Amino acid sequence: MTDLLISLYPWTKAFHVIAVIAWMAGLFYLPRLFVYHAEASPPEELFRTMERRLLRAIMNPAMIATWIFGLCLVFTPGIVDWSQVWPWTKAVAVLAMTWFHHWLGKRRKDFEKGTNSVTGRQFRMMNELPTLLMIVIVISVIVRF
C-alpha cells in the first residue's frame, strides 16, 4: 500500500489542491450569500436554492475529497514529520475549517426553516474565518516551522 501511495503522490497532491480550491471557494461564497439573504426583505426563495446547491453540489463533495486526498498525503511515507509543529497547526486549522463548514450547514437549515437569527453583519464577520484559517494552513505547509 505504501508503494502505491508513493507512486501516486503527485496525483494525490494535485487532486488535494483542486479539492481545497473548490472547498475554499464555497467557504468564501456561502457566508456572502447568507449576508444578502439575512438582509433581504422579504427573504427570497432564490437564496435558499443557491445556498442549498452550493453546499450540497460543490462544498460537501469538495470537503470530502479534500479530507480523502489529504489523509492519503498524511499516510504517504516521508511526507509528514509529526515531530515538527507545522502538521499540528495545519491539522487544527483544518479541523476548524471543517467545523465552520458544518456551522454554515446549520445556518442554511435555519434559513430553510425561517428561523435564522444571525445578522448580515455577523455573517460578514464570520466570513473572515476561512481566510484566517487558510493563512495558517498555507504558512504551515509552505514555511514548515
> φ, ψ for residue 92 (rounded to 5)?
-65, -45
* Least confident interval from 20-24, 46-50, 64-68: 46-50
pLDDT of residue 13: 97
- Name the residue ranges covered by the structural domains of the chain: 2-143
Please state, in angstroms and rounded to a whole number, the distance separating the CA atoms of residues 117 and 110: 8
pLDDT of residue 145: 83
At what angle are helices 129-143 and 86-113 packed, to 10 degrees?
160
pLDDT band at 84 (very low <50, low <70, confident <90, very high): very high
Burial tier of 27 (Cβ tally within 10 Å: 0-12, 13-18, 19+): buried
pLDDT of residue 138: 97
pLDDT of residue 60: 98
pLDDT of residue 52: 96
Please state, in angstroms and rounded to a whole number, the distance separating the CA atoms of residues 118 and 75: 40
Sign of CA dihedral 110, 116, 118, 123: positive
The whole model's pTM is what? 0.92
Q: Cell 435555519, residue?
A: 110
pLDDT band at 75 (very low <50, low <70, confident <90, very high): very high
State the average pLDDT over residues 17-40: 96
> φ, ψ for residue 23 (rounded to 5)?
-65, -45
pLDDT of residue 1: 78
Q: Residue 70 pLDDT > 80, yes or no?
A: yes
pLDDT of residue 2: 81
At what angle are helices 45-53 and 9-39 packed, to 10 degrees?
170
User: In 3-state terms, what secondary structure has residue 6?
Assistant: helix
Please state, in angstroms and rounded to a whole number, the distance separating the CA atoms of residues 14 and 96: 23
pLDDT of residue 41: 81
Helices and strands (H and E) in the chain: how many: 7, 0
